[in-house]
């Protein structure tokens, strides 16, 4: 990259195989704010209760949103019929304790919908879920930020009923810790290693328990706690640089794709009897381990594999030979 007027040097962290390295490029200091800095108010703070969710016009803008904010909002990925069918398929899944599934029906105080039902590796339970491995434009984003050889490291469904407590603010995975000032200045940028797509299957309200994000918090360079990484620790952190978690108030059929190091949390469902439906699809770079419980005893269903496309097979781990393989 050519040196430009008013430019400065930027060290960009990359990875090849399992080896970290950084190289130096030149960035136009006059234009770096839109690329690297979260947009705060004039006081440097943003205490809005809900996120400003702005659809992006093209893949380039979607990728830029993940670099800037740590997430991107995708409206109307599913239509009403697809939402209803997916909810029905989630209802039909049964918990398998050997796969770390849970189904605590009624545990949270509601006799009808007080459920925390969490089913893992859904695409290996019903072939209907295969299409959510490579749903566009989600898969286009994932392949752009993780590489065309990325794969799905998990797929989980949730029904969250009334009574679940707020989660602590957390990052799903922090690949490397970097001083915050280097990330905020644009001197260093950490690439994405794991990303999650949330397929929302309800019109989300504050009472239903929205996901809450802190935009730009992936540039903290660390998880929300300086030492303890337990997201349920009593040593809670509730903000970053004065920014509180903000609710993603989305509609059924919308998707939010977010990088693993952005700070976020689930919030409590305070409705009387409504369960919140959600499908999560987790993606990682090729060398990131797949989380398919029961792990050593995991077996693909051959009838489901027979229905998968070549792209879906690759996303489930059917990679061509390469280093270490």
How do the domains of the chain map onto residue ranges?
55-315
**Beta-bridge partner residues of 7:** 28
Averaged pLDDT, 212-237: 74
Please give the structure tokens belonging to residue 215: 């935009």
Query: How many percent of the chain have pLDDT more than 90?
Result: 67
Summarised one tens digit per residue, pLDDT across range 9-41 is 444 444 433 334 343 333 333 333 333 233 333
Please give the structure tokens belonging to residue 102: 């849970």
Query: Is the Cβ–Cβ distance between 50 and 246 less than 8 Å?
Result: yes
How many CB atoms are closer than 10 A to CB 240?
22
Averaged pLDDT, 164-174: 90
The pLDDT of residue 233 is: 52
Please give the structure tokens belonging to residue 318: 């059917």
Q: Give 55-315's CATH code, choosing from 3.40.50.20, 2.60.120.620, 3.40.50.300, 1.10.1200.120.
A: 2.60.120.620
Element (H, E) at 147: none
Q: pTM higher than 0.85, yes or no? A: no
Lowest mean pLDDT among 36-45, 185-194, 243-252: 36-45
Confidence category of residue 278, pLDDT binned at 50, 70, 90: very high
pLDDT at 136 over 50: yes
Rounded CA gap, 120 and 211, in Å? 19
The pLDDT of residue 15 is: 43
The pLDDT of residue 164 is: 77
Confidence category of residue 151, pLDDT binned at 50, 70, 90: very high
CA 263 to chain centre: 10
Instruction: State the first-to-last Cα distance of the chain, in angstroms, to the nearest integer.
Output: 35
Question: Of 176, 217, 174, 142, which is closest to residue 13 (Cα–Cα)?
Answer: 176
């Amino acid at each position: 990259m050519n040196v430009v007027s008013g430019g400065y040097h930027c060290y960009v962290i990359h990875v090849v195989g399992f080896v970290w390295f950084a190289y130096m490029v030149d960035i136009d200091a006059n234009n770096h704010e839109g690329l690297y800095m979260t947009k705060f108010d004039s006081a440097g703070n943003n205490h809005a209760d809900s996120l400003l969710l702005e659809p992006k016009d093209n893949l380039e803008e979607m990728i830029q949103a993940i670099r800037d904010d740590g997430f991107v909002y995708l409206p109307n990925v599913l239509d009403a019929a697809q939402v209803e069918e997916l909810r029905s398929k989630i209802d039909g899944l049964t918990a398998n304790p050997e796969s770390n599934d849970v189904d605590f029906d009624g545990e949270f105080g509601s006799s009808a919908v007080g459920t925390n039902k969490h089913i893992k590796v859904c695409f290996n339970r019903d072939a209907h879920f295969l299409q959510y491995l490579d749903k566009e434009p989600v898969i286009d984003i994932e392949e752009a930020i993780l590489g065309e050889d990325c794969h799905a490291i998990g797929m989980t469904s949730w029904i969250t009923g009334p009574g679940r407590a707020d989660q602590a603010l957390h990052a799903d995975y922090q690949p490397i810790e970097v001083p915050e000032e280097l990330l905020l200045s644009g001197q260093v940028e950490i690439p994405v290693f794991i990303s999650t797509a949330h397929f929302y299957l309800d019109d989300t309200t504050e009472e239903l328990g929205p996901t809450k994000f802190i935009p730009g918090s992936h540039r903290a360079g660390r998880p929300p706690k300086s030492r303890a990484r337990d997201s349920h620790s009593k040593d809670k952190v509730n903000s970053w640089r004065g920014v509180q978690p903000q609710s993603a108030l989305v509609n059924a059929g919308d998707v939010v794709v977010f990088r693993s190091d952005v700070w976020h949390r689930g919030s409590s469902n305070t409705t009387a009897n409504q369960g919140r439906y959600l499908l999560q699809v987790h993606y990682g770079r090729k060398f990131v381990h797949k989380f398919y419980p029961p792990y050593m005893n995991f077996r693909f269903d051959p009838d489901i594999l027979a229905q998968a496309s070549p792209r879906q097979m690759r996303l489930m781990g059917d990679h061509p030979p390469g280093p270490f393989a």
